[in-house]
Structure 1
Amino acid sequence: MFTTFAELSTPLVADACVRLGVPLRAAPPGIGAVVPGHRLAGRALPARHYGSVDIFLEAFTAARPGDVLVIDNGGRQDEACVGDLLALEARAAGLAGVVIWGLHRDTPELVEIDLPVFSYGRLAPGPTRLTDREPDALSGARFGSHRVTGEDVVFGDDDGVLFVPADRAEAVLGMARTIGEIEREQARRIRAGESLRRQTSFDDYLTRRAADPGYTFRQHLRRIGGAVEE
């Protein structure tokens, strides 16, 4: 999974989801890598946090190599729920990374550990609360407005984090590769002096739109085989 995604990006995966009609589920804006440039891809390992790290340690007992721990901390801004020890344990369990709907701490240590961790940002205080755990705390996690389960895969890079149904991931990655190839060729042609307007027959589009106001640029791109937006 990671090998395939290494040549792609989350924008390409997002466009592929739209092209294929796969529900587009993105982490909220602001979720980013502790270390810029870090990337991750793997099966989701969900866990809802209630104030104690034991929920994560329990999740690791069912982890498979390459999984990504998806932590639901409700987007809280008053506590950091992941630090260096949890990251070390995640790496020892074979995980590909951690994504947090919330905050992290121990930033210098996380940088040194070099396991991809994505969160809203850093905060010194850890949890002081301990709330009751729900029975399904390890079967699903909320991340923004989305529910993530073990039937999903996670993709993350400098543009954010996406969640894709595992049974559609191969098709999505294939489409993302196709879109990426088209965009790279378009970029090459722009650098060579051929404008994007010329490549996309933009004058023809304007003429068609004048005759048919319902004719959209997306329809036009489909007709000519271009890729700029979905």
Structure 2
Amino acid sequence: QFLPQREDVFNGAEQEDIERKTPLWGVLESIRPGDVLVIAAQGSHFTGCLGDMLVRYFKLRGGAGIVVDGRVRDAARIRALGVPVWCTGVTPHYASQTELFPSAFNVPVGVGGTLVTPGDLIVADEDGAVVVPQDRAVPLAEDSLLHQDREAFARRRLDEGGLLSDYYPLTGEGLDEYLASRAAT
């Protein structure tokens, strides 16, 4: 969690030395294999929450991906590392160089207008990232597999010349046809 800087809480003159004592270093040193790091940076266009060295360390610890409600730096080097990162853009600034400062980790945060709590699952692809509470993961996965199967059926029918209105979304006679095809297998 990044919060606004304030002179009586943090003096920017010691930025790089003090950063290693912040929760940003703490969270990186607590990363376990498969973890997804979610950073609340209030959509800042200036604070570079992570750069090459921090993402490199994240990867070496076994981190799976990073979601940042803000910016990162060293974009080319991060891409070369192959760590999936979802962020709002890039900046040349480092984590405490501008208006925000790393303040806490392993706490609930608001990212992209969504509450993320420690232990939530993050599902992400090239379209973006979503939060899945742990207790909803199994039913959501089951629903997702069913949805994926229905869409595969609809794609086949569209590729065969079917009408969009018959197969997408899959309702009415198209849905009946899908259900009959599943019952036959």
Structure 2 gaps of 5+ residues are: 6-18, 179-185
Pick aligned residue for 1:154 from 112, 122, 128:
122
State the distance in 2 between where 1:61 and 1:222 align: 53
State the distance in 2 between where 1:124 and 1:180 align: 40
The CA deviation string for residues 116-146 of structure 1, in whole angstroms up to 9 with x for no partner, is 1110011112232586876x64322210222
Pair 193,121 (structure 1): closer, same or farther in 2 beyond 3 Å: same
Aligned pairs (5 A) from 1:74-223 = 74-126=42-94, 127-129=96-98, 137-199=105-167, 221=171
Contact 1:64 1:95 in 2 (8 A): yes
TM-score (normalizing by structure 1): 0.62
State the distance in 1 between where 2:147 and 2:125 align: 18
State the distance in 1 between where 2:83 and 2:102 align: 27
Pick aligned residue for 2:34 from 60, 66, 75:
66
Q: Which has the larger radius of gyration?
A: 2
Q: Percent identity?
A: 25
The CA deviation string for residues 81-127 of structure 1, in whole angstroms up to 9 with x for no partner, is 11001101101111101110100110111111111111001111223
Structure 1 gaps of 5+ residues are: 1-47, 201-217
Q: Which runs of 4+ in 1 moved over 4 A?
A: 129-134
Contact 2:40 2:111 in 1 (8 A): yes
TM-score (normalizing by structure 2): 0.75
Count of matched residue positions in the alignment of Structure 1 and Structure 2:
161
Contact 1:83 1:110 in 2 (8 A): yes
Contact 2:39 2:67 in 1 (8 A): yes
